[in-house]
A = this chain, B = another copy of it.
Amino acid sequence: MVSRRVSPNLALNQLVAERRAVGESIVHLGFGEARLPVFPPLMAELVTGAARNGYGPVAGGAAAREAAAGYFTRRRMPTEPDQVVVAPGSKPLLMALNMVVPGDVLLPRPCWNTYAPQAHLAGKTAISVPIPEDWGGVPEPGALRESIRAARVLGHDPRIMVLTMPDNPTGTVAPPELVRELCSIAEEEDLLIVSDEIYRDLVHDPDLPFLGPAEVAPRRTVVTTGLSKSLAIGGWRIGVIRFPEGPAGERIRDGVLSFASEVWSTLANPMQEVAAYALAEPPALLRHRAACARLHGIVARAVHRIVAGVGASCRPPTGGFYIYPDFEPLRETLGRHAVTDSASFERHLLDAFGVAVLGGHHLGDDGRALRIKMATAVLYGDTEEQQWEALHAADPLRVTHVAEVLGRIDESFTKLCG
C-alpha cells in the first residue's frame, strides 16, 4: 500500500490556495511554478490540435518526436525521433524509468521531493548523497563513492544516479569539470545517469558553460525535460524523455513504452501539437523564453540578496527559480521564536509572516538543519497584466508590485532575524 501523503509541494500549494480563499494574504514561495502567462502562439497550437481527438502512438506522434529530436540535437546530443517519448509531464516518465530500470537510486541531498517517493513506489531504495558546497543537483564525488560502497555493504544495489541541471532546490548549475568527474564514476560503477534538465532553458546567463552528462557518457545517460517550467505551462502537462542510442537505450525505451501503454496511453493529442511547435524553437519563442530566463534570474538574485543580507548562507542562483538558504548562522536568533528545525521554520514563516516555503526535510535533507527552499517565480504579480509588465520591464525590481512583494519578504526576514 502506498503512502497516503500527497506530494508535499502540491499539498502546500493546496493549503495556500485554501487560506487565500478565506482572505489571508500569503507570499507563496513554496511551489515551483513559473507564474507567467501562456505565450500566445502556444494557445493557437492547442486550438489547432483540438481536432486531433483520436489516440495516437504511445511514444507520441512523428511531429512532436521530430521536434524533440531537433531540440536535443541543438544541445549537442544528436538524436533520432525514435529515441524520444513524450508524455503528460516528465513525472510519469521518471516513474516509468524507476519501474523499468533495476537497482537502487542515488539521489543528491537535497533534491526535488518526488524522486525518492517514486523510487519507493517502484520498490527501490533511495540512497541520499550530500551535494558539494558550491552547487546542488549533483552528489559530491567523494561522498558518492563512499555512499555506493556503504550501500553495497548494506546489500543495496545502486544502479541509477539522478542529476538535476540546473537544480531544484538550489538554483545552481553543476560545472563541466564536476559533470565529467561524476560521469567517470558512473562508468566505473556502471550506473545509469538520469539527467533531469527541465530547467535547462532557464539558465540565467546564456554564456554560463553547460555540459550535460549525455555529452560525456552518451550510452548511459537518459535525459528528461518538459515545457512546464521554461514556458510556464505546468498546468498543461507536457514532458519529454531522450534515451541513449544503441541496444541498451532501446531496451529502456521499450520498457518505458510498455509501462506508458498500460498506465497513460499517450500524451493528449492537442498537447502534442503544442510540443511540436515549442520544441522546434521558432525565433519568437526563443525571444520569449530568454526574457523569462532573465526575469527569473533577476528576481531569484534579489531574494538571494535578502536572505544573505540577514546573515543566511546561500549558494548564489544561476539557473531556474529557486534558492536554498541555510540559516544555521542564525540558529540562536531563530531559537528565540521556537524555530529549531526546518519543520518549525516552515510553520513559523507561514503563521507569523504569511510566507510559505518548503522545509528542507521534504527534500531528503536533514530536518534538524535550518534550510528552506524558496521558489521565486511566483513573485511576478497576480494578474496576467502584471506578469507581462514584470516580464518586459527594463528593471523588474522597480515594477511596483514586484518591489512590494520583495519588500514584504525583506521585512519578514529582517524582523525574524533581527
Contacts and interface: CB of A to CB of B under 8 A. Distances in A.
Interface of A: 1-7, 10-11, 13-14, 17, 31, 33, 35, 37-38, 43, 46-47, 50-58, 88-89, 91-92, 95, 99-102, 114, 117-118, 121, 123, 232-237, 251, 254-255, 257-259, 261-271, 384
Contacts of A114: 262
A366 B218 CA distance: 44
B1 A265 contact: no
B258 A5 contact: yes
Contacts of A88: 88, 237, 264, 268
Number of this chain's copies in the assembly equals 2
B38 A53 contact: yes
A335 to B, nearest CB: 33
Contacts of A265: 7, 10, 89, 91, 234, 237
A134 B306 CA distance: 73
Nearest to A115: B262
A37 B53 contact: yes
Contacts of A263: 91-92, 95, 118, 121, 263
Given A10-B58, A50-B46, A237 B262 contact: no
A133 B307 CA distance: 72
Contacts of A17: 57
A76 to B, nearest CB: 29
Contacts of A10: 55, 57-58, 261, 265-266
B268 A236 contact: yes
B53 A255 contact: no
A33 to B, nearest CB: 6
A114 B265 CA distance: 10
A57 B102 CA distance: 32
A91 B259 CA distance: 11
A270 B236 contact: yes
A368 B17 CA distance: 57
Contact of A235 (B3, B33, B56, B232): B56
Contact of A237 (B46, B233, B264): B264
A102 B50 CA distance: 39
Contact of A4 (B5, B38, B53, B255): B255
A232 B54 CA distance: 7
A311 B365 CA distance: 68
